[in-house]
Amino acid sequence: MADRAAHLVGSTPFADAGDAFEIAFDRLGGHLRSVPDGETGERRNWIIHIIEALRRHPDLEVAREGDWSDYDRTPTFRVRKGHRLTAGSLDLQHVAPVEAAYPDFARRRAEAVSAGVAGAGELAFQVGIPGDLDMALFVFGPVGILRHRRAFTDATVAEIRQIAALAGHDSAGRTDVVFQLEIPAELVFVARFPDILQPVAAWWLGRGVARLAARSPAGTRFGIHLCVGDMNHRALARLRDVAPLVRLANAIARAWPDGRTLEFVHAPFAAAAEPPPSPGTPDGARFYAPLRQLRLPVGTRFIAGFVHEARPLEEQRQTLALIESLVGRRVDVATSCGLGRRDREAALATIDRAAQLVAEPAPAAEATPAAAATSGTIGP
């Protein structure tokens, strides 16, 4: 079984990309597989800055004001009468940060290789990309999914192509960038359906995520960030158990297109500021139990988003052991979402906790329910 890795979901409260890179390389070193630029400044609040910039879009106008103080107090837009929204008119603001930060990343990676840091030569630059459905939903409300998703799909694919060209490819034709598709809306939708309908919802939503990947260039590398929301460090939804995320992850994996690598699936076990359930309680055991049904392709890493500064190290060791026993292989570790809604001290504490957990020895007897995990049977 492969060694565990630590995963940085994206946003941080750090000063700038240089500060974020220095912390990532110094504190996690050889434990990383990809490195984001820290998504600092206005980007620490995910897509808020992208949506706020649409106030200046010539084809859009505000339909309902909002101050982002809660999930039901966000602005929504509509297309101006007589106008049309096109992908070419949308700037999703992903390209410029990569242009600014990628050379610094490449330099630090080269320095790590020269210093003999394990695995440094395989490090990829990580770019967070909000899903097209999510962008349409948060900009226009539910009507946006049907009327305006295509514009966001086309704009997202265009920016993925630009970034892939900017970073280049390795000798195997793979991009030097891993695109982390961030899809909270899909997971929340699945979780809100009755249990009997969740497999159908996961199938439909998973196919949409896979279509976005299929339209990207061959050789593009992806990861999936499942999420339950973290605006103002509050979750949009809470899971009774992990069955919805297992169903969605399985559906995405089964629909995944050839020629595009699905490198990881990241799953949230905490709900923003709310810590993950304790594995030593009956409720905690029930919460994690559906992980037995996880079916990911061989080579796709599962990243467990349970690292939390409010839980003691020993409990988090138990959580890691339980997750690995259910999944049947070692997993990577992360927080449930980006660190941007934490203060600097809390962010550093979670990074250091992740470093402790990836160094944990493997369980004495690793379970086998998903050890042969492939893109085969999808669990209930």
Segment 159-176, tens digit of pLDDT? 999 999 999 887 677 889
Is 10 within a domain? no
Which residues are CB-neighbours of 316 under 8 A, at least 6 positions away?
306, 307, 308, 353, 357
Is 321 within a domain? yes
| Parallel, antiparallel or unpaired: strands 76-79 and 60-64 | antiparallel
Tokens of 48: 């808020």
SS3 83: coil
Which among 40, 69, 38, 42 is positioned nearest to 53, based on CA atoms? 42
Is the CB of residue 31 less than 8 Å from the CB of residue 99? no
If you ran DSSP here, which 8-state letter would residue 241 be given?
A: S
CATH number for the domain that contains residue 109: 3.20.20
In the prediction, which pLDDT does 205 show? 98
Which among 265, 90, 241 is positioned nearest to 183, based on CA atoms? 265
Is 371 within a domain? no
In the prediction, which pLDDT does 363 show? 58
Is 333 within a domain? yes
Place of tokens 């440094």: 120
Tokens of 110: 């080269």
SS3 267: strand
Half-sphere exposure of 125 (CA within 13 A, CB side): 28
Segment 277-327, tens digit of pLDDT? 999 999 999 999 999 999 999 999 999 999 998 899 999 999 999 999 999
In the prediction, which pLDDT does 2 show? 53
- Cα separation, 108 vs 164, in Å, equals 19
Domain that holds residue 262: 17-56+91-358
End-to-end alpha carbon distance in the chain? 26
Is the CB of residue 39 less than 8 Å from the CB of residue 11? yes
In the prediction, which pLDDT does 174 show? 83
Burial class (CB in 10 A: 0-12, 13-18, 19+), 214: middle
Segment 110-166, tens digit of pLDDT? 999 999 998 999 999 999 999 999 999 999 999 999 999 999 999 999 999 999 999
Which residues are CB-neighbours of 72 under 8 A, at least 6 positions away?
none
Q: What's the pTM value of the predicted model, to 2 decimals?
A: 0.93
Stretch among 122-136, 170-184, 352-366 having the lowest mean pLDDT: 352-366
Is 372 within a domain? no
- Residue 281, number of CB atoms within 10 A of its CB: 10
Is 31 within a domain? yes
Segment 212-225, tens digit of pLDDT? 999 999 999 999 99
Is 86 within a domain? no
Burial class (CB in 10 A: 0-12, 13-18, 19+), 314: exposed
Number of domains in the chain: 1
E strands of 65-119, at which residues? 76-79
Tokens of 133: 């459905």
State yes or no: pLDDT of 360 exceeds 90.
no
SS3 315: helix
Which residues are CB-neighbours of 190 under 8 A, at least 6 positions away?
198, 201, 202, 205, 244, 245, 247, 248
Is the CB of residue 291 less than 8 Å from the CB of residue 371? no
Q: Which amino acid is at 341?
A: R
If you ran DSSP here, which 8-state letter would residue 271 be given?
A: B
Is 7 within a domain? no
